[in-house]
């Protein structure tokens, strides 16, 4: 049986400007389990969210930031300048908008 917090993460969809997700609404659950979020980061976010220490909005912001930074680092490539994760097209976190799902 699926927990309510898991259902919420699966039904809350956001617009993402990063790579293969560009132009699509993607669930927070999908993003948490994508290559952009390292396992230890995912586990920590899920643990804090389940415990009620992070709100849904805080999880959304953390995931958005992590995805944006990872996508920017991937664009920069090896030895690239990763000091400005918001640089370049699609790296602006304002492109990420939460939309709770009610499906």
pLDDT tens for the chain, 103 residues: list them.
889 999 999 999 998 877 778 888 999 999 999 998 999 999 999 999 999 999 999 999 999 999 888 888 887 877 654 444 444 444 444 444 445 554 4
Q: What pTM does this model have?
A: 0.71
- H or E element that contains 46: helix 39-50
pLDDT of residue 2: 87
**Spatial distance between the Cα atoms of 51 and 92, rounded to a whole number of angstroms:** 30
pLDDT of residue 75: 79
pLDDT of residue 100: 52
pLDDT of residue 33: 95
Tell me how far CA of residue 44 lies from CA of 7, 40, 62, 101, in angstroms.
18, 6, 11, 24
For residue 35, what are the contacts with CB-CB under 8 A and spacing of at least 6? 70
């Amino acid at each position: 049986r699926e927990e309510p917090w898991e259902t919420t993460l699966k039904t809350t969809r956001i617009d993402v400007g990063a790579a293969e997700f560009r132009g699509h609404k993607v669930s927070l659950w999908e993003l948490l389990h994508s290559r952009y979020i390292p396992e230890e980061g995912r586990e920590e976010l899920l643990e804090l969210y389940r415990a009620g220490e992070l709100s849904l909005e805080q999880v959304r912001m953390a995931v958005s930031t992590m995805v944006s930074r990872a996508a920017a680092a991937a664009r920069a490539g090896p030895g690239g300048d990763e000091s400005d994760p918001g640089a370049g097209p699609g790296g602006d976190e304002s492109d990420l908008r939460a939309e709770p799902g009610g499906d």
